Amino acid sequence: MNPSDPGSRIPDPGLLARDRAVVWHPYTQMQTAPPPLPIVRGKGVYLYTEDGREILDGISSWWVNIHGHSHPALNAALAEQAARLEHVMFAGCTHPPAVDLAERLVARLPPGLTRVFYSDNGSTAVEVAVKLAAQYWINRGEPQRTAFVALHHAYHGDTVGAMSVSEASVFTRAFTPLLFSVARAHAPYCYRCPLGLERATCGVECLGDLEGTLARLAGTAAAVLVEPMLQGAGGMIVWPAEFLAGVRRLCDRYGVLMIADEVLTGFGRTGRMFACEHAAVAPDIICLSKALTAGYLPLGATCTTDAVYEAFLSDDRSRTFFHGHSFTANPLACAVALASLDLFERERTLARVARLEAQLRTGLAPLAGLPLVGDVRVIGGVGAIELVADSTVGTDPLTNRRGGPSGPPVGASGGAARYLDEIGPRLAAAFLTRGLLLRPLGNVLYFMPPYVITDEQAAWAIDQIGEVLEEVGARS
């Protein structure tokens, strides 16, 4: 039967042909991209295609999945909530799942974060944070505080405000005229240290750039926005905890708000429930999404301190935070998020992440010896391998420069660098043939499976990574 026309005798043209006719995919050059994977089912760490292939989801479906696909407890919570209340607007109404979830989050978040403002994805969680910070200073009678400070290699989402605070890239280029300007300070990208120092002997001097930036903006900075401990889309850059502690210290010293974008890092991805815990810091505002619902449904939460919240309380309506979305605090999403928090306790999820981290450390470390491998980084349930044209000189394959995009050029452009520009899609295709779904970020290959992956499944995936890198290295 043809599912697009149940009464028809015309044979089903197949999901891919129908997709090609009417769908426009994200981040996809529709003219040249290979056909998408037709996924019809998921179970645990596996995805299943229409033609019966079993594929291990090595990137947790864009970093959202933690307890595995189609988990019975999450399915039950979703069905139960759907039978009770699927959705209601959240201005002038409330409902038990939203209140229960806010209570549970406040109890588990770093201390002092006492208010939960819901939205519906990671970008909106960041937009809300930026707008809250901007209006906070107006409400506090310091309207000159309009400047935002973010870091190099930052990625905070694709809406206009989130793009503004993200590092400029090919992804944001077409929208440059729409973006507001943001002051940018060094990130602690130790493999390509912006100051040319070595982590083993440095004193996190890269923080000095943030300090200089805040000093220069004296009295006009509204907030510093960071992805704590792990900058994701910017290249899976793992931080020393001292840098994060330093960000908090500098925000206090200069009296600006600290916004932690934990859209990726929240809910155990870095080995702690929230990445801020690595440095025992509490931000003024935290952004959550992705694994908040264990990857089931879109939901965002921007949580703030009493001090931020109270700046919006007034008899004067103009001090209200005028922001909302049709699906704010969707009850289905909140119910699944609550069931996910239960699983963290019942299945001792953080202990599982610690085991995965140990396995990633021992499994990936030997790859550092391969000629194509410049750096191996592991934090929590994330293992990243930065590929270079030649590990003996540490050339950045995307820019053909040492020391990152701002470093001095090495040799002429082209050659190995151009070869490595193409390496992401080639690696992805090689892994897919072996039944492993990975999606390298430029020259950074990473493995970020759902936490429920077994030791055997993780060992198998690590073997595939090693074998493919050896094959590719031998051919280059």
Ligand X SMILES: Cc1ncc(COP(=O)(O)O)c(C=O)c1O
Contacts to ligand X by CB under 6 A? 121-123, 126, 155-157, 227, 232-233, 261, 263-264, 289
User: Hey, what are 229's tokens?
Assistant: 């401990």
Name the active-site residue from 46, 57, 191, 290. 290
Q: Is 131 a catalytic residue?
A: no
Q: Is 261 a catalytic residue?
A: yes
Q: Which is nearer to ligand X, 121 or 270 (CB)?
A: 121
As measured in angstroms, the least distance from the Cβ of 408 to ligand X is 30
Q: Which is nearer to ligand X, 152 or 401 (CB)?
A: 152
User: Hey, what are 419's tokens?
Assistant: 């070869």
442 — alpha (psi -120 to 50), left (phi > 0) or beta?
left
Q: Which is nearer to ligand X, 116 or 462 (CB)?
A: 116
Q: Is 43 a catalytic residue?
A: no
SS3 382: strand
Q: Which is nearer to ligand X, 256 or 259 (CB)?
A: 259
Q: Which is nearer to ligand X, 156 or 401 (CB)?
A: 156
In this structure, are residues 334 and 101 in contact, taking their beta carbons and an 8 Å threshold? yes
Which residue do the tokens 């002997």 mark? 201
Of 8, 31, 30, 4, whose CA–CA distance to 18 is shortest?
4
Q: Which is nearer to ligand X, 300 or 374 (CB)?
A: 300
- Report, in angstroms and rounded to the nearest whole number, the Rg of the chain calculated over CA atoms: 23
As measured in angstroms, the least distance from the Cβ of 446 to ligand X is 12
C-beta atoms surrounding 85 within 10 Å? 13
Name the active-site residue from 46, 118, 136, 155. 155
Whole-angstrom CA distances from 446 to 236, 371, 405 are 8, 17, 20
Return all residues near 114 (Cβ < 8 A) that are at least 6 apart: 106, 303, 304, 305, 306, 309
Distance CA 187, CA 190 (A): 9
Q: Which is nearer to ligand X, 154 or 373 (CB)?
A: 154
Name the active-site residue from 120, 261, 375, 396. 261
Q: Which is nearer to ligand X, 126 or 338 (CB)?
A: 126
Angle, CA of 465, 365 and 281, to the nearest 5°: 105
As measured in angstroms, the least distance from the Cβ of 194 to ligand X is 20
Q: Is 290 a catalytic residue?
A: yes
Secondary structure E strands in 183-337: 183-185, 221-226, 230-231, 237-238, 257-261, 285-288, 300-305
Of 237, 239, 243, 236, whose CA–CA distance to 258 is shortest?
243
Q: Rounded to 5 degrees, what are φ and ψ at 192?
A: -120, 60
Of 39, 21, 41, 43, whose CA–CA distance to 30 is shortest?
21
Cα-Cα end-to-end distance for the chain: 48
User: Hey, what are 185's tokens?
Assistant: 């300070």
- What one-character-per-residue DSSP string does 1-19 give? --TTSTT--SPP--HHHHH
- Residue 381: exposed, middle, or buried by beta-carbon count in 10 A (0-12, 13-18, 19+)? buried
Distance CA 152, CA 407 (A): 13
As measured in angstroms, the least distance from the Cβ of 263 to ligand X is 4
As measured in angstroms, the least distance from the Cβ of 158 to ligand X is 6
User: Hey, what are 112's tokens?
Assistant: 């002092």
Active site residues: 27, 155, 261, 290
